[in-house]
Amino acid sequence: MTKVIKLALVASVLAGGLSANDVLKGSGASFPYSVYQKWTKAYYKATGIKVDYISKGSSKGIKDAKARQVDFAGTDKPLSPKVLKQNNLYQFPGVVGAITMGYNIPGVSNLKLSRSAIVAISEGKIKYWDNKLITAANAGLKLPHEKVTFVHRADGSGTTFNYTYFLSKVSKEWRHTYGAKKSLNWPGNQHIGGNKNTGVASLIKQTPYSVGYIDYADAQKNGIVMASVENRAGHYIKPELKAFQIAAAKANLDPKKDFYSIIADPKGAYSYPIVAATFILVPAEKQETNKKVTAFFDWSYKNGQEIAKSLGFVPLPDALTDKIRKYWEEKGIR
């Protein structure tokens, strides 16, 4: 039996009715790109079915979904049930991840950033690394009198939305002045922007004395040092999987609301504070194609947990994936 035939048989068993000739096309959020990329490769290896997911950013993913230019789209900013209904879309979560504060200060590690320091850096109010708002949380750490460069996303981004949502939870002033948005005219004059999370990673690496918000997987992949961040309980939490899992457990993702929920800054003494669920959008009218899309994610939920963990993402718990499967069945897309 040839390898091709074997793969086709595996596909039939695992995916029920999927064909090796199917190519599912997706686009959007860059935040979960690393895990989706590995899931698609593993899915192809197991089933022979190809899934193409292009990292464009959440804004373009939402645009592609509304224009019906892809079979599914990824977005880190969930759409409300009202917006989903207006655009005849369904929505479900893919995975949970974390946004970190990556920095490049030569010779400095174990940096801690308080909630107020993160807001002030984002506002452009902290000019130098030896500012008291930063040094107060870093006793014994010698921070240089060097200018702070803040690195942000230049494109429309769900990572930016979740980061600014976190800032809005921390600071009333930020909430009233800037709010939570996918793109922003950043205040101050010490900031630079990069496209997608990979662009932010490159800028941080190239720019001494910079700091920026970036997803954990891209920071880790690029060897970027990440700060411990103060959570709601006042504890400084290192960006690591265990803390992400504790935070993710606080998420309330309800199928009655098409899983619409923003989970940044959860409660809990040991919760990492800047976490985000990322979502999948599918066009409601394409039921047969949607069944192929949900087969891919169903397979990934079951078989992709170790891949997700290895990249610092939190796989969705069984109780939630059971709700997602029921949601698919109710919508006729499983």
What is the predicted pLDDT for the residue at 21? 61
19 closest CA partner among 33, 28, 9, 30: 9
Query: Please, what are the domains in the chain?
Result: 25-96+249-331 (3.40.190.10), 99-240 (3.40.190.10)
**Confidence bin at 286 (pLDDT 50/70/90):** very high
**Confidence bin at 19 (pLDDT 50/70/90):** low
Q: What percent of the chain has pLDDT over 90?
A: 85
Per residue in 118-168, pLDDT (tens digit) is 999 999 999 999 999 999 999 999 999 999 999 999 998 889 999 999 999
What is the predicted pLDDT for the residue at 3? 46
264 closest CA partner among 77, 118, 74, 57: 77
Query: Across-strand partners of 282?
Result: 90
What is the predicted pLDDT for the residue at 9? 40
* CB crowding 192-208: b at 16 or more within 10 Å, else e: bbbbbbbbbbbbbeeee
How do 275-283 and 149-153 pair as beta strands?
unpaired
Give the three-class secondary structure for 217.
Answer: helix
Element (H, E) at 40: helix 33-47
List Cβ neighbours of 233 (8 Å cut-off, separation of 6 or more).
267, 268, 269, 271
Query: Across-strand partners of 215?
Result: 99
Angle at 305 between CA 300 and CA 310, to 5 degrees: 125
Average pLDDT of the segment spanning 292-316: 94
Per residue in 69-116, pLDDT (tens digit) is 999 999 999 999 999 999 999 999 999 999 999 999 999 999 999 999
Measured between alpha carbons, how far is residue 84 from residues 49, 79, 89, 153, 248 in Å? 28, 6, 5, 26, 24
**Residue 97 class from Cβ within 10 Å (0-12 exposed, 13-18 middle, 19+ buried)?**
buried
Angle at 170 between CA 166 and CA 176, to 5 degrees: 90
Element (H, E) at 26: strand 23-28
Residue 9: φ, ψ to 5°: -65, -40
